Amino acid sequence: MLLSLNKDTINSKMFQIGTAFDRSALPQAATFDYHLNELRKLQNLEESVKLGGGKQNIAKQHEKGKLTARERIELLIDPGSQFQELGLFAAHGMYENEGGAPSAGVVTGVGRISGKLCIIVANDSTVKAGAWFPMACKKNLRAQEISIENRLPIIYLVDSAGVYLPMQDEIFPDKEHFGRIFRNNAVMSSLGIVQIAAIMGPCVAGGAYLPIMSDEALIVENTGHVFLAGSALVEAAIGERIDNESLGGARVHSEISGVTDYRMPNDNVCLETIRSIVSKIGEKPKAGFDRISPVAPRFDADDLLAILPPNTTKPYDTYDIISRIVDNSEMDEYKAEYGKTIITGYARIDGWAVGIVANQRKIVKNAKGEMQVGGVIYSDSADKAARFIMNCNQKLIPLVFLQDVTGFMVGSRSEHGGIIKDGAKLVSAVANSVVPKFTFITGNSYGAGNYAMCGKAYDPRLIFSWHSARLAVMSGAAASKTLLSIKLSSLKKTGETITEEKQKEMLKEIEDRYNDQTGALYGAARLWTDGIIDPRKTREIISLGIEMASHNPDIPKFNPGVIQT
148 vs 236: CA distance, rounded Å: 40
Residue 58 has a CB neighbour count (10 Å cut-off) of 18
Angle between helices 419-432 and 379-395 (to 10 degrees): 20
Q: What percent of the chain has a predicted confidence (pLDDT) above 70?
A: 97
Q: Report pLDDT for 57.
A: 97
- Residue 173, pLDDT > 50, answer yes
Q: Report pLDDT for 58.
A: 97
Question: Coil, strand or helix: which one is 200?
Answer: strand
Q: Are 426 and 455 in contact (CB under 8 A)?
A: no
Q: Report pLDDT for 483.
A: 75
Q: What percent of the chain has a predicted confidence (pLDDT) above 90?
A: 77
Measured at the CA of 352, the angle between CA 544 and CA 111, to 5 degrees, comes to: 15
Q: Report pLDDT for 228.
A: 86
Going along the chain from its start, the domains and CATH numbers come out as: 1-49+287-469+519-565 (3.90.226.10), 52-279 (3.90.226.10), 475-518 (no CATH)
- Residue 20, pLDDT > 90, answer yes
E-only strand ranges, 174-304: 195-204, 216-220, 225-227, 262-264
* Mean pLDDT within 123-127: 97
* Mean pLDDT within 175-195: 95
First to last CA, the chain: 30
Q: How far is CA 248 from CA 63, 225, 256, 358, in A?
A: 22, 5, 10, 54
Distance of CA 528 to the CA centre of its chain: 7
Q: Report pLDDT for 189.
A: 97
- Residue 1, pLDDT > 60, answer no
Q: What number of CA atoms fall less than 13 Å from residue 531's CA on the CB side?
A: 25
Q: Tens digits of per-residue pLDDT, 43-89?
A: 999 999 999 999 999 999 999 999 999 999 999 999 999 999 999 99
473 vs 407: CA distance, rounded Å: 9
Q: Tens digits of per-residue pLDDT, 207-247?
A: 788 999 999 999 999 999 998 888 888 888 899 899 889 99
Q: Tens digits of per-residue pLDDT, 245-255?
A: 999 999 999 99
- Residue 350, pLDDT > 50, answer yes
Q: How confident is the model at residue 6 (pLDDT cuts 50, 70, 90)?
A: very low
Q: How confident is the model at residue 476 (pLDDT cuts 50, 70, 90)?
A: low
**What mean pLDDT, rounded, does the chain reach?**
92
